[in-house]
Amino acid sequence: MTTRVRGYNCVRLDVDAASSSSGGVCILTSQNSPHNIVTLTTSLQAVAVRIHTRTLITVCCIYLPPNDVVSQVDLNHLVNQLPTPFLLLGDFNGHSPQWGYDGTNSRGRQIEQLISDHSLCLLNTGEKTYFHAPTRTFHSIDLAICSPTLLPSLKLEVVNDLHNSDHFPLLVSQVHGSGVRFRPSNYRFNRADWDLFTRLAVITGAMVQDQDLNSSVRHVTTSIVDAADAAIPKSTNSKRKMSKPWWNTDCQSSYREQKKLWGIFRRYPTTENLVAFKRARAIARRVRRHSQRESWIRYVSSITSSTTSQQLWRKVKAANSLYREFSIPILETANAVHSSPVEVANVIGHSFASVSSSDSYNATFLATKNRSEQTPINFRCRQPLPYNCDFDMWELRKALSLSNNTSPGSDGITYDMLRHLSEDSLVSLLYLFNRIWREHVFPSPWQEAIVIPILKPGKDPKNPLHYRPIALTSCLCKTLERMVNARLVYQLEKNQCIPLFQSGFRKGRSSIDNILQLESQIRTAFVRRNHLVSIFFDIEKAYDRTWRYGILRTLHSYKLRGNLPLFIQMFLSLRTFKVRVGNILSSSFTQFEGVPQGSILSPTLFICHLSPILSQLQPSVHGSLYVDDLQISCEGSSMHLIQRRLQNAETGPPSRS
């Protein structure tokens, strides 16, 4: 069974249901705090993690069943495995006056001995942590034990609400707070005053005509952001509340009544008050179940033939709280362990920069690269070409209409803001875009990206090389990119520059085309009673290591000249990035090669550069591409001949990038 709680990672140890009706332990760690799992060798029910708050702290959760015989040796062995400083939390089922119990039992004496032998500190101060419903009595059996160095900085509070359990939650917090910030504040567009925004976000002709391009971009950005700050509320940078789609006012009021009656019973533990509390709890549960059922019925009824699979699964995941979120790891390199968000961001940033540097290429290709780059590529052209003319307003409007509401870049501008600009402001914005297009100057604020590291599926989170960089760039820049990309794709398709069997990001094509082609080859081989061998390639760090000069050389070979290729040349030059972990930004790093993942032009440029690889295959070897996913296959009656042909295809021409 897999447990998912949005915003948290789960570390759990279950017990065999056949041997015990209770037990098991679990730790939920916030994805906003760096952490890793501590492997324990013990027969006790215990799990542990190391988590970074201000420093590294080990947190261990333990459950000692009341009727089990627990060895003092096992307890000592467990404590000896915990990296210091540590916090030991759990239901110990021990009785001792030291933590507020009237009497003492053997388990309590064991815990007293454990605390004494290891010079540990008890955070409990006598509060009752357990409610025994049959006798309507309160007891202290849940303990918080810590290393001596943690005692001055930690405090324990017992939360008053049982939350439908028989144990009160224990809240252990740092005296001065953790100092961890969670996420940058975002605009709350559902509460935006768009009329006010449109009136305030004025892009004048003077902003875009009378200054250098960098100054013009800064003034346009300031005008839009200032208007957004005045007209759109912002969220806090604290952890988001993960509300359920079925939670409504009825659920809220019934739960509030349940808490009210529990408070009365806690102060006056009579039978009458207990019955009233249980009745309110049952009503609250019934209201929640009814709301869940009605919400699901409404959702299922909303599904039509026009509902896309993406929309369908997005709502299903939302209903079940299945979200992929970045979890801040504790990184391990050859020299050190990195746990603070600043260290994590810088280590990941350094690994991204090293992947895109020339040092990541092999010696053979590096020699070819250095030799080729001595020949400059000239895209200058005096001939007026249709794809180099100024952009029209319909192109800008189409680019904005096709834009999804993705995360903004470092300037904070979103597509929603651009779509709510006035007509006069859009005219001025179009003038700015055409200046960039004609003057061949790429604004320096657009050259820096905010990179979000995403852990690759199934990879070790402690390795900084196991993260995929997703670049967040300015939506102003991406709007212009979309306009340029439309012209580039049109030229490539019109001139048949992209091979037939490249299906990625092409209108009217999908991965189904490649699958059908392979199926046809397999059926043909069966009919001929031949063998067919197919190889699938996963090109490692494909986007990050793409040779930029090779992209430009490919565009030059397609006879592209003038503003279009010159804009792409500027777009690929002097790229920098900062890694964002939670609300923390790393130092600035240079992306020496590759295309930024997350930009509009990157897939098309990558396709341009990689697609000619299919022309390098022998006629007996067939190939297909879906962006960077390559498949080759060969048919024949002799496996030895097939193997030799595929090996020759894998080796390829030595000078090919």
pLDDT of residue 193: 94
Bridging pattern class, strands 154-158 and 121-122: unpaired
pLDDT of residue 318: 62
Condensed to tens digits (0 to 9), the pLDDT of residues 602-634 reads: 999 999 888 888 888 888 889 888 888 889 999
17 CB burial (10 A radius; 0-12, 13-18, 19+): exposed
The predicted model scores a pTM of: 0.69
3-state secondary structure 46-69: EEEEEEECCCEEEEEEEECCCCCC
Contact between 356 and 548 under an 8 Å Cβ cutoff? The reply is no
- What's the rounded Cα separation, in Å, for the pair 395 and 402? 11
Long-range contact set of residues 96-101: C-beta below 8 Å, sequence gap at least 24: 98/122, 99/124, 99/126, 99/140, 99/143, 100/124, 100/125, 100/126, 100/127, 100/128, 100/140, 101/139, 101/140, 101/141
Contact between 500 and 622 under an 8 Å Cβ cutoff? The reply is no
Q: Closest Cα partner for 535 from 634, 401, 421?
A: 634
Residues of the chain with pLDDT under 70: 1-3, 17-21, 175-183, 236-243, 310, 314-327, 651-657
Compute CA 105 distance to the chain's CA centroid, rounded to the nearest angstrom.
Answer: 49
Contact between 12 and 25 under an 8 Å Cβ cutoff? The reply is yes
SS3 570: helix
Q: Closest Cα partner for 432 from 200, 209, 198?
A: 209
pLDDT of residue 53: 74
pLDDT of residue 651: 67
pLDDT of residue 238: 53
**Residues paired with residue 145 on neighbouring β-strands, in sequence order:** 88, 122
**DSSP summary character for residue 466:** G
- What's the rounded Cα separation, in Å, for the pair 390 and 437? 7
Contact between 352 and 451 under an 8 Å Cβ cutoff? The reply is yes
Condensed to tens digits (0 to 9), the pLDDT of residues 63-73 reads: 998 888 889 99
489 CB burial (10 A radius; 0-12, 13-18, 19+): middle
Residue with tokens 């007293």: 112
- What's the rounded Cα separation, in Å, for the pair 367 and 379? 25
Task: Determine which helix (DSSP H) or strand (DSSP E) holds 365, and give its type and residue range.
Answer: helix 363-372
pLDDT of residue 657: 44
Q: Which are the contacts of 259, defined by CB distance < 8 A and separation ≥ 6?
A: 161
- What's the rounded Cα separation, in Å, for the pair 425 and 639? 66
553 HSE (CA, 13 A, CB side): 16
- What's the rounded Cα separation, in Å, for the pair 184 and 181? 8
